[in-house]
Amino acid sequence: MLSNKMKLFFALLISSALFAGCGGGSSNSAGPAVTVTTTNLSGTLTVPDTLNSDLLASINLVQNTDSIVRKAFASATVLVNDSSTTNFTITPSSLVSDWDIKINAVPQSTNGLYKIDVIAGKIGLKSWVKTAQKDAFTINSKTTAAALIANASGKDATDLIATFPTLISKVTKEIESAFQQARESYTGSSLAAASITTEVTTQSNFLKENLTFDPSAMVGYFGFTNDLDNNDMTDLQIVQNTVGDRIRFLTALSSQVSFMEGIGAIGSYTDSQLLSDFTTGNVSASWTFGAAVSNVALGLYFRKGAVADTYLKLFVKRIDLIDGSFKGVVAEYSFVNATSTAITKGSKTFTIWGQTPTTGTIQATDFLTDTTSSANILTFIDATKGLGSSGDATRLVRAVAGQPDITKVSYAETYSEFGSNYYTNTAAALKAIYLDRSIMVGDVFSAFFPNTRHYALFKITSLSASSVTVDFIVNSTPDEPRF
């Protein structure tokens, strides 16, 4: 017979075994699964307009064709916050430059920022996307430049694009240049090119100076050549004198500059004062500025426009010019719009080509300058051909259907360098819109003049065998078809 102590021992042993068998005391229990909150990102991916397809493949035999580019980016590597993901779609297109990109089931960011990388071969594109932008973000060369500078400077990428566009433009140009180099130029990504890292360092060091800027203005660290409106053209130049101790400013349109000193903010030089200075001729092309100059405001004639002319207001905070070595200019800037001077309206009467013009008539014109030359300019050829190029060698005119009021026409069709949308004379232009006849009163045409690259509209108001009168509107701005 078992003692009471032995009975108690076996009872406890059986209870323990049953408890363990039910899993109650197991040290291997996984516990409840942790739920990860995810989100979806959706936007557009803009592939570089020009790239070396060699950077997209591991061999040197591919050709730079559209299909190669589409295939490479459709199967690109995508990272979000440095983690690779396969749950994405990129929809390439041969019709538009912006391709849809969707990234699904991304772990929700704790700081509201998603750092996106798209890598195709040795080509990399970046975008730093805030939560508010996650349904409509963009990723292109410009967002890549902003991400690189933001990473190096600690600044917000979105703010960099909005407030420091010239800084972004400088790095963007280096990135797009690197996209066109040979594969052997890089051991790793094209974004690691020395030209890019040098420019990023220069611009981020400028930002790290923590200078105080007007939040309503844009900011730039200007070099000798500057693209302020991201159109791939230099529109602000800084020129150093021969001695090397002073600089001057000029734009593509003018070297005339207005000047105001003794102020503490860009807003102190008002828009109305700047416009008044140019209207009254209170400008000079001879002003120069040395290293000691700071907190001065300048006005420069920036752009002719169909809607309005544009001036550049520049508030110079510092000039980095030491011992004849020019490094740059720290400046705030904004654009000031004025009444347009690019648009001119009027009436002209053409004498038929070859006859002596009478008082008040002309032989040829581009609506900016009347002349007796017929080269690449509008003349009254004869009653059959109408107005156009006297030698039938230059495409100048395009018919506007419906004989509209030209003051209601807001733009001319853009001239195609290699197409045939403009014609040598008005008769040919009318035939192109299925009116096989000579000109008649009420007909409307647009004109493009290849020498000066400006557009005009004109309407036939009077017609005889030896002359034709037209009302016209001309925009003197090169390559600007708006009126």
Determine the pLDDT at residue 24.
45
Q: Count Cβ atoms within 10 A of the Cβ of residue 147 and give its class: 0-12 exposed, 13-18 middle, 19 or more buried.
A: buried
Partners of 444 in the β-ladder: 400, 459
Assign 3-state DSSP to the chain and report helix, strand, coil percentages, each to 5.
Answer: 25, 35, 40
Cα–Cα distance, 334 to 59 (Å, whole number): 48
- Given CA atoms 65, 67, 72, 73 in this order, what sign does their dihedral have? positive
Please, where are the H alpha helices in 75-223?
141-153, 157-163, 165-178, 194-208
Pairing of strands 83-85, 88-91: unpaired
Pairing of strands 137-139, 38-46: parallel
Cα–Cα distance, 164 to 219 (Å, whole number): 5
Q: Which of 463, 423, 465 is nearest to 443 (CA)?
A: 463
- Given CA atoms 206, 207, 211, 215 in this order, what sign does their dihedral have? positive
Return the SS3 of 333: strand
Determine the pLDDT at residue 420.
79
Determine the pLDDT at residue 3.
52
Residues 6 or more apart from 319 whose CB is under 8 A from it? 247, 289, 290, 291, 293, 294, 329, 330
What radius of gyration, in Å, describes the C-alpha atoms of the chain? 33
Count of helices and strands (H, E) across the chain: 8, 26
Q: Which amino acid is at 148?
A: L
Determine the pLDDT at residue 63.
52
Q: Count Cβ atoms within 10 A of the Cβ of residue 253 and give its class: 0-12 exposed, 13-18 middle, 19 or more buried.
A: middle
Determine the pLDDT at residue 48.
84
Cα–Cα distance, 457 to 411 (Å, whole number): 9
Determine the pLDDT at residue 65.
58
Domains in the chain: boundaries: 38-208, 218-339, 343-475
Torsion angle (degrees, nearest 10) of CA 333, 335, 336, 339? 160
- Going residue by residue through the chain (483 aa), what tens digit of pLDDT does each one get? 445 544 444 444 444 444 444 444 444 555 556 678 999 999 999 988 888 877 886 544 445 556 788 888 888 999 999 999 999 999 988 777 789 999 999 999 999 999 999 999 889 999 999 999 999 999 999 999 999 999 999 889 998 988 888 889 889 999 999 998 887 787 788 899 999 999 999 888 888 776 678 878 888 889 999 988 767 778 899 999 999 999 999 998 889 999 999 899 999 999 999 999 998 889 999 999 999 999 999 999 998 777 778 999 999 999 999 888 998 999 999 999 987 778 889 999 999 988 887 888 999 999 999 988 767 889 999 989 999 987 777 899 999 999 999 988 988 999 987 777 999 999 999 999 999 999 999 999 999 999 888 999 999 999 998 999 999 999 988 888 888
Task: Record the pTM.
Answer: 0.61
Pairing of strands 257-260, 454-463: unpaired
Cα–Cα distance, 63 to 476 (Å, whole number): 42
Cα–Cα distance, 101 to 132 (Å, whole number): 17
Partners of 129 in the β-ladder: 114
Contact yes or no for 299/278 (Cβ under 8 A): yes
Q: Which of 225, 207, 211 is nearest to 159 (CA)?
A: 207
Determine the pLDDT at residue 143.
96
